[in-house]
Structure 1
Amino acid sequence: MAVDVVVLQALIDEKLKPFVKRIDEEALYAEDFLHALGKSGFFDSSQKNEQTTLLDELTIVQETAKVCMTTAFCLWCHLAALTYIRKTKNAALRGKILPLLENGEVLGATGLSNPMKFYAGLEKLHLSAKRVEGGYVLDGVLPAVSNLGNNHWFGAIAHNEEQEVMVFVNTDNANITLKEKTHFLGVNGSATYTCKFENVFVADDYVVSHNASTFVDQIRPTFILYQVPLGFGVVEASVEGIEKVKAKQNGCNEYLQVQADVLSVKLQSLQTHLALLVQSGEITLNAISKIRLQAVYETLEAVQANMLHNGSAGYIAGSTPSRKLREAYFFANLTPTVRQLEKMTKTLTCNSK
């Protein structure tokens, strides 16, 4: 069952488009839009196989990113949280939380930016866990977790002696202190917070995995997969932006080296490649990392072309081309960043030979 694009577009028109400027300039968090997606059944996987669920949710991210990549990024955070709960072997956790996340009653976040860098050999793990009766006690600070608010859930990984444990925690926990982070070049409306853990008890019912390293290996390809349509949406919006101004200055834009049709062909090719990968049921880390990396460079090319085609109008504060430019640079620096992806794709390719 494919996504009902008409209903999705109606939600975007009503609950997202009117607020994009405020999201970008005033750090407004489009929480109502995210809740509405769930209430309208867009996160419901109960009647779908995994491939259909993934393809549908990729479409939702792309359509959202065309209008506002900040909100699409928040949507990705929620889908990452859904992935953790869909994949956990903890039936109690899945039974309690999955329906709430899928029907939009509560929203989720990833919390794995630092752990993903840890497993890539780039950072130390910021949280520690002590095994106690009935669960774990966590301490430490996560520098940045996005898509957070009251009664939001997010994943976290902490070092526990010889291995790591992954848990699912709620922002309303009295021992978790949130401090909002804004003043970004873009994505101010991403509801990003520093999260300080002080003696936070997490019961076994809320443990995603007692062996986080193995679990991350399982979910990382999907984690990265859901990011790719962030770039697709921005490329699509840039193509539309270029088409709108093609008659500017007596059609002088036709002499620019990068044109909308070239960008469209590249986008369609990468979209087809991604869809075939999902349909194959074999989403390897190497394959999806290569697509994600290619999406970064194609997105950067598209937003730069959009700026050039729009000329001085694109440099006005608050213009759509300038917002898409800033969104693209965030996409390039979203974990795994372009630097990390370059390292991963080369390392994984060498190791597979």
Structure 2
Amino acid sequence: MALSPILAGWLDASAAGLDAGAVAPSELLPRLAAADLFRIGAPASLGGAGGGTFDVVETIAAVSERSLAAGFVFWGHRAYVEYLLQSPNAALRDRLLPDLFAGRVAGATGLSNAMKFLAGLEELQVSARAEGGRLRLDGKLPWVTNLRAEGFHVAAAVSGPDGRPFVASVAHDRAGVIRSPDLDLMALRSTSTAALRFEDVNVGPDEVIAPDALDWCPKVRPAFLGFQIGMSIGLARRSLAEARSAAGAGRHALGTELDATAERLQAGTDALRKGLAEGAFVARPAELFRIRIALAEAANDAVGLELQASGGKCYLAGPGEGFARRWREAAFLPVITPSLVQLKAALAAQGEPTGRAA
């Protein structure tokens, strides 16, 4: 997936600032939207550009090659768009999609808690009670990205009044929605990542994305995790390219390791493409979990090889700036929810192997 020269140039020039928080978060979403990236994978009949789920993965990978902070925001926004595309609530979809495609308002996934809930790792942290035909929400989402100060909609999995979970969309300006200051991250700081608290938040049936989360979430999980895996693919590709281009005595000794890591990356990417195309991951999520684990590990290995290939210059502030950023970015991949530890725990609980997909 080739990005437009304008966007690619801006990402290259802004990557360090997006990581350190020196670039205003308000700049990023409109830049991605101006290149029509959020329309990829959405039907033309709904204002999209067509294509499939893996086209979105490849686009997120292309952005993440230049800036994982940008890829992270892309993932969160496009995941929320995907929720609307797979929602039975056509009125909500038709009302929100134009502004989301154009980057005028942010979409925040908010369903990390739900994905852990599905895997038996965590209870839902938002609950609802019925009142006068409406629903009143209370609870928290401790870590959500793309909560732009200029406006956002967030998807939240909610334990309903009858105990059955559903997924609601909550707007930033609804009374009782309390956003924390941006989290004090060690990297990826221009991503509008914060915590949310809901205190007696009023939502109606017209704001329900999915009335039955237990049925709906497994169907959207392949896109949620697949888009997320795009970040690992992009970072791994970039670090492998940097390692191969590095010159220096004895660096040829890394050729075998570089080739092996590249082969693992390609095998995992091919398995992801095939599984998404066939719809295999709805019934067999363990396969998707193993791909997520394998490609996050491949990205971390690739960054380590970049360090070895480039040598001491990576430890100099100037020449090593790009590497240092990628090192911090790689540290995020194992912990983004669901974390590798959580996925391995879920696989172990199901008696599934946790080894690398290939």
Q: Same fold (TM over 0.5)?
A: yes
Shift of 1:99: 2.7
SS in 2 for 1:124: coil
Between the aligned partners of 1:31 and 1:118, the Cα distance in structure 2 is: 32
The share of aligned pairs that are identical, in percent, is 27
Between the aligned partners of 2:236 and 2:216, the Cα distance in structure 1 is: 32
AA partner of residue 260 (structure 1): L
SS in 2 for 1:232: helix
Question: 1:127-151, CA deviations, whole angstroms, 9 ceiling, x for partnerless residues?
Answer: 1211123321111222111111121
AA partner of residue 112 (structure 1): L
Equivalent pair of 2:21/2:188 in contact (CA under 8 Å)? no
Shift of 1:112: 1.6
Check 1:124–1:278 CA distance in 2 against 1; reply closer, same or farther (3 A cut): closer
For residue 210 of structure 2, what is the aligned residue in structure 1? 209
Trace 1:98-137 onto structure 2 (pairs within 5 A).
Answer: 98-137=97-136
Equivalent pair of 1:35/1:106 in contact (CA under 8 Å)? no
Residue among 23, 31, 34 paired with 1:28: 23
Trace 1:144-293 onto structure 2 (pairs within 5 A).
Answer: 144-149=143-148, 150-161=150-161, 162-245=163-246, 247-248=247-248, 251-256=249-254, 259-284=257-282, 285-293=285-293
AA partner of residue 306 (structure 2): N
> Structure 1: where are the runs of 5+ without partners?
none
Between the aligned partners of 1:166 and 1:55, the Cα distance in structure 2 is: 24
Pair 1:12-2:8 in alignment: yes
Check 1:6–1:201 CA distance in 2 against 1; reply closer, same or farther (3 A cut): closer
Equivalent pair of 1:332/1:338 in contact (CA under 8 Å)? yes
Question: 1:36-63, CA deviations, whole angstroms, 9 ceiling, x for partnerless residues?
Answer: 3334333222238999331221121001
CA RMSD in angstroms, aligned pairs only = 2.4
SS in 2 for 1:157: strand
Question: 1:195-217, CA deviations, whole angstroms, 9 ceiling, x for partnerless residues?
Answer: 11111101211111222222212
AA partner of residue 219 (structure 1): V
Check 1:166–1:29 CA distance in 2 against 1; reply closer, same or farther (3 A cut): farther
Between the aligned partners of 2:312 and 2:229, the Cα distance in structure 1 is: 30
Normalised by the length of structure 1, the TM-score is 0.89
AA partner of residue 240 (structure 2): V
Shift of 1:81: 0.3
Check 1:36–1:46 CA distance in 2 against 1; reply closer, same or farther (3 A cut): farther
For residue 58 of structure 1, what is the aligned residue in structure 2? 57
Check 1:142–1:319 CA distance in 2 against 1; reply closer, same or farther (3 A cut): same
Between the aligned partners of 1:171 and 1:206, the Cα distance in structure 2 is: 13
SS in 2 for 1:227: helix
Check 1:292–1:87 CA distance in 2 against 1; reply closer, same or farther (3 A cut): same
For residue 356 of structure 2, what is the aligned residue in structure 1? none
SS in 1 for 2:105: coil
Between the aligned partners of 1:27 and 1:217, the Cα distance in structure 2 is: 38
Equivalent pair of 1:90/1:205 in contact (CA under 8 Å)? yes
SS in 1 for 2:178: strand
Normalised by the length of structure 2, the TM-score is 0.88
Between the aligned partners of 2:144 and 2:321, the Cα distance in structure 1 is: 28
Shift of 1:319: 1.8
Check 1:305–1:126 CA distance in 2 against 1; reply closer, same or farther (3 A cut): same
Between the aligned partners of 2:336 and 2:256, the Cα distance in structure 1 is: 25
Shift of 1:104: 2.7
Equivalent pair of 1:29/1:191 in contact (CA under 8 Å)? no
AA partner of residue 213 (structure 1): L
Shift of 1:74: 0.9
SS in 2 for 1:129: strand
AA partner of residue 320 (structure 1): G
For residue 33 of structure 2, what is the aligned residue in structure 1? 38
Check 1:231–1:117 CA distance in 2 against 1; reply closer, same or farther (3 A cut): same
Between the aligned partners of 1:222 and 1:244, the Cα distance in structure 2 is: 33
SS in 2 for 1:172: coil
Question: 1:103-144, CA deviations, whole angstroms, 9 ceiling, x for partnerless residues?
Answer: 333221111222322332323322121112332111122211
Residue among 44, 47, 53 paired with 2:44: 47
Q: Which moved more, 1:180-189 or 1:290-299?
A: 180-189
Check 1:180–1:291 CA distance in 2 against 1; reply closer, same or farther (3 A cut): same
Between the aligned partners of 1:221 and 1:159, the Cα distance in structure 2 is: 22
Shift of 1:348: 4.6
Between the aligned partners of 1:50 and 1:274, the Cα distance in structure 2 is: 22
Shift of 1:191: 1.0
AA partner of residue 93 (structure 2): R
Between the aligned partners of 2:348 and 2:102, the Cα distance in structure 1 is: 40
Between the aligned partners of 2:34 and 2:52, the Cα distance in structure 1 is: 16
Check 1:164–1:194 CA distance in 2 against 1; reply closer, same or farther (3 A cut): same
For residue 332 of structure 1, what is the aligned residue in structure 2? 334
